[in-house]
Amino acid sequence: MPLGLHLTAAGNNGLGESSSKVERSRSSVRRLRSRDAERSRRQQLRVDRPLAVSFDTERAGGHEVGAATLLLTGAECPFTCLFCDLWQHTILTRTPLGAIPQQIAAATDELGEWARSSAQPSPPIAVLKLYNASNFFDERAVPEADDAAVIEAVRSLPLPDDVLVVVECHPKILLSTSGRRRLEIYASELRLEVALGLESTAPGAMEALMKGATLEEFSCAFELVISAGASVRAFVLFGVPIGAGAGLEPSDQQRQWSLETLRWARDHGASCASVIPVRPGNGAMEILAANGEWQAPTLAQLEMTFKQALALERQAPRFDVHLDTWDLEAVERGCLSEGEADRTIERLRRMSSLGAEEYSGAEDVVDQQGAPCEPMS
C-alpha cells in the first residue's frame, strides 16, 4: 500500500484513540518531570568541565571525517518531548555565566591528545559537536552574554580553522528574536551546522511526540538556518509511538515513516540526517510499553530501515545519512542470539561510517516483526 494511504488510514482510525493516548502520555511525562523523587535521581553534574568528550567518525559530503563530541552541562530544555531522556543530564538551575566557555576550553587537552595520538587510525577531526542536552540558543542553557567567549573558546581549540561546529536547537527557540540574532552571530563567526530534532513527519506525530513545534515551524527553521549560511542536520526517529495502533504498527510502516521523514529533510535542504532508534530509559517509554502503546524497535528492523535510508543517499550525493550508533547495545535484540546481535551492531556501525557508496554488505538483513526469525550471517 502506498505510504499516503497508510498515513491517512492511521490518522482517520486513530485520532480519537490516539488523542486519549497522547493525553495519558503527556501526564506521564509531566509527572516524571515534576516529581521531586525523579528529578533528584539526576546525577550531580559539574559545570566546569564537559560531561564527556568522545571521538568517532562520520561522513561529510560522502567522505569519512573525524568528529569530536563535547557533551556540555547546563540548564534543562523547556520542552518535554515524550521520548527524551536528556533532562537527566542537565541541572535544575540556569547555566551559570561562564560555564559553557569554560567547559569547551576544558576539552583542549583531550582534543590535543587525540590529535597527537599515533595509535588512532581515524581521519583528522573536521566536525565538532557541541551538544548541551538542550537548545544552544536558549538563554537559560547558554547565556547570550557568553556568546563571544564561546566563539573564542571554540577558536582556541586545537582543531582546523574550518571545523564544522554543530549545535542543537528547537525550532521555536531558533525562530524567536534572540534565536535569530544568535544564529546570525554564530553563523558569521564559525562554520555552523544546526541540528534540528525533526523526529517524524507522519501525520499527528509532532503532537503525539509532544514536540512543541509544527512541521511548518520546522520548514521555517530549515529555511532560516540555510539563509543564515549554516547547514542543517536533521534527527529522524525510528520506532515512534504514534498512529492507529500506537507503536504497534507493522515495522514496515514505521520504516516508511522514517524514510518519508528523511526525504522531507533532504527536500528541505538538510545536508545530513541521523536516524535514531527510539529507546526506553526515560521512564515515559516504559509506561507506554507497559500499557501496550509502544514497542521498542529491534536491531533487525533498524538495519532494514538504515539500509533503505542509505539508498536515499545514493539518490542525493549531497545528503549524508548517518545512524546514531550511541548505545546500539541497548536496542532490542528481538530473537537474535548474542552473537548475531553483536554482528548486526558491527555491520550497522560500518554502514554508518562507510555510507551508501562503499558499504555493500547489507544483503543479509531480516525484518523480524510478524515474520519468523531467519539466521543472520
DSSP state at residue 89: G
Among 53, 86, 149, 312, binds ligand SF4 (CB under 6 A): 86
Binding positions for ligand SF4, 171-200, rule CB under 6 A: 197
Least gap, CB of 57 to ligand SF4 (angstroms)? 24
**79 touches ligand SF4 (CB under 6 A):** yes
**Residue given cell 528574536 in the structure block:** 177
Q: How many residues bind ligand SF4 (CB under 6 A)?
A: 9
Q: Cα-flanking dihedrals φ and ψ of residue 302, to 5°?
A: -65, -40
Contact 131, 103 (CB under 8 A): no
Least gap, CB of 137 to ligand SF4 (angstroms)? 12
Q: Which stretch binds ligand SF4 (CB under 6 A): 74-82, 109-117, 185-193, 286-294?
A: 74-82
Compare residues 80 and 291 and give the one whose CB is closer to ligand SF4: 80
- What is the Cα–Cα distance from 62 to 233, expressed in whole angstroms? 15
**71 touches ligand SF4 (CB under 6 A):** no
Contact 308, 255 (CB under 8 A): yes
Least gap, CB of 86 to ligand SF4 (angstroms)? 5
Q: Which stretch binds ligand SF4 (CB under 6 A): 72-80, 239-247, 255-263, 362-370?
A: 72-80
Least gap, CB of 231 to ligand SF4 (angstroms)? 19
Buried b (16+ CB within 10 A) or exposed e, 340-356: bbebbbebbeebbbbbb
Spacing of C-alpha 140 from chain mean position? 21
Nearest alpha-carbon partner for 195 in 239, 160, 164: 164
**170 touches ligand SF4 (CB under 6 A):** yes
Least gap, CB of 342 to ligand SF4 (angstroms)? 29
Binding positions for ligand SF4, 241-270, rule CB under 6 A: none
**77 touches ligand SF4 (CB under 6 A):** yes
Least gap, CB of 197 to ligand SF4 (angstroms)? 5
Q: Which stretch binds ligand SF4 (CB under 6 A): 51-59, 75-83, 112-120, 326-334?
A: 75-83
Least gap, CB of 114 to ligand SF4 (angstroms)? 27
Least gap, CB of 237 to ligand SF4 (angstroms)? 10
Instruction: Report how far apart, in Å, the C-alpha atoms of 272 and of each of 58, 320, 346 are.
Output: 10, 4, 22
Q: Cα-flanking dihedrals φ and ψ of residue 167, to 5°?
A: -125, 155
**57 touches ligand SF4 (CB under 6 A):** no
Count CB neighbours of 34 within 10 A: 9
Q: Reduced to 3 states, what is the DSSP secondary structure of residue 228?
A: coil
Compare residues 284 and 351 and give the one whose CB is closer to ligand SF4: 284
Buried b (16+ CB within 10 A) or exposed e, 188-225: ebbbbbbbbbbbbbbbbbbebbbbbbebebbeebbebb
Binding site residues, ligand SF4, CB under 6 A: 77, 79-81, 84, 86, 134, 170, 197
